[in-house]
Amino acid sequence: MPLLPRPIAFRPALCLASLWFAWNLCAAGSAAAARVVVYSPHGPEILAEMKARFEAAYPDTRVEVQYLSQTDILAKLRAERNNPYCDVWWGGTTQFFDQGAAEGLLQPYKPTWAAAVGPEFRHPNDYWYGQFIQVPCFLFNEKLMSAKDAPRDWDDLLDPKWKGRIVIREPLASGTMKTIFSAMILRQIQAGKTEADGFQWLKRLDEQTAAYVPSPEALFEKIGKSPAGYVSLWNVTDALFQKNRNHYPFGFVVPAGPAPVSVDALAIAAASANVEGARRFYEFCSNVENSKWLAEVHYRFNARADLPPDTIPEWRKGVSFTPMQVDWADFNAKVGPWMERWQKEIRDRTK
């Protein structure tokens, strides 16, 4: 993430990077320790911290984490089908997990807390379970505008005052953006209009958009450091984490109308070389203690309905939203074709 030559003692970033490399190298090369390999789109901070927590609890096991987009995770699992490497896929929207399950890239596993989530939070054959929910929002720089001046609902983004002031993460590389864009098509259909009306809405949004950026980190930099007063479509979890942990001047507004509140899942790779270790990590990262920690420190909306009241932090009580009614199995089947059409008819047209 996210010089003139000088003695190594004065280069703490290099020292930390070297220690991190050595840590993973020792874990990979140790014959005495088992290894669990985790692919995840969760941020580097949460991955490093969960790795440390797990290894403190299970000192006989080392965790190797790879921070990847959901698109890259799916591609790597396909490439590694006959050359096993990944054990756990931790995090991402169910559209990607459904695709992985359909291609035989995942193996079924029913966690100990399976009864604590409804059918919308799990694959019917246990190939994935939802650990979190993801709430979309409008992200902005609160040093440059107040919440009352930011977009309040989806159609506000089409107001002429936002032309050239919208920045969007590249949708085809992002599960979050694929979900939001596809939901904008579904929104038109639910209003009694057509799929074509949904694409027309996305075309108008594209005309308002100043840039598509390649990564979440690039998005945060654009919103947080540009004087242009950009806004974006993203999620509440990242807005709060980046504001409180990395000190970005972020404010956010949850859409006033129905929003696609998606499921953030986890699964075990079909080709896992350490199934026992994979199940141990799966249970550990989603147990009650870590669910509380993830909510408090990493601003996660936990999906489990059996968590004690003291696992619900104060920030969560201040965020209200209206979930869009979505048949997720049907929706996920349409996301791929819809986004391919968006790429061909809208995105490629403006390149």
Q: Are residues 338 and 226 in the same domain?
A: yes
pLDDT at position 33 is 64
Q: Lowest-confidence range among 3-12, 295-304, 342-351? A: 3-12
**Nearest by Cα to 135 from 165, 172, 176, 178:** 176
Q: Are residues 339 and 232 in the same domain?
A: yes
Task: Evaluate if residue 57 carries a pLDDT over 60.
Answer: yes
pLDDT at position 84 is 86
Q: Are residues 51 and 92 in the same domain?
A: yes
Residue 187 inside a domain? The answer is yes
Distance of CA 131 to the CA centre of its chain: 12
Which DSSP state fits 312? S
Residue 13 inside a domain? The answer is no
Q: Are residues 43 and 163 in the same domain?
A: no
The token pair that represents 102 in the structure block: 């359909």
Residue 280 inside a domain? The answer is yes
Mean pLDDT of 168-174: 94
Q: Are residues 187 and 326 in the same domain?
A: yes
Q: Are residues 175 and 87 in the same domain?
A: no
Residue 12 inside a domain? The answer is no
pLDDT at position 348 is 86
pLDDT digits (tens, 9 = 90+) for 294-322: 999 999 999 999 999 999 999 999 999 99
Q: Are residues 82 and 157 in the same domain?
A: no
Q: Are residues 249 and 142 in the same domain?
A: yes
Q: Are residues 188 and 328 in the same domain?
A: yes
Task: Evaluate if residue 20 carries a pLDDT over 70.
Answer: no
**Domain around 220:** 136-259+322-350
Find out whether 78 and 103 touch, Cβ atoms under 8 Å.
yes
What are residue 291's phi and psi, to 5 degrees?
-60, -40
Question: What is the total residue count of the chain?
Answer: 351
Q: How many domains does the chain have?
A: 2
Q: Are residues 154 and 286 in the same domain?
A: no
pLDDT at position 350 is 59
Q: Are residues 226 and 197 in the same domain?
A: yes
What confidence tier does 22 reach under pLDDT thresholds 50, 70, 90?
A: very low
Residue 123 inside a domain? The answer is yes
Residue 214 inside a domain? The answer is yes
Spell out the long-range contacts of 330-336 with Cβ–Cβ below 8 A and sequence spacing 24 or more: 331/95, 331/182, 331/183, 331/186, 332/94, 332/95, 332/98, 332/99, 333/98, 334/182, 335/95, 335/178, 335/179, 335/182, 336/95, 336/99
- The CATH code of the domain that includes 154 is 3.40.190.10
Q: Where are the beta strands (DSSP E) in the chain?
A: 34-40, 61-67, 88-93, 106-107, 129-134, 136-141, 166-169, 209-213, 231-235, 250-253, 262-269, 301-302
Residue 327 inside a domain? The answer is yes
Q: Are residues 63 and 128 in the same domain?
A: yes
What are residue 153's phi and psi, to 5 degrees?
-150, 175
Residue 306 inside a domain? The answer is yes
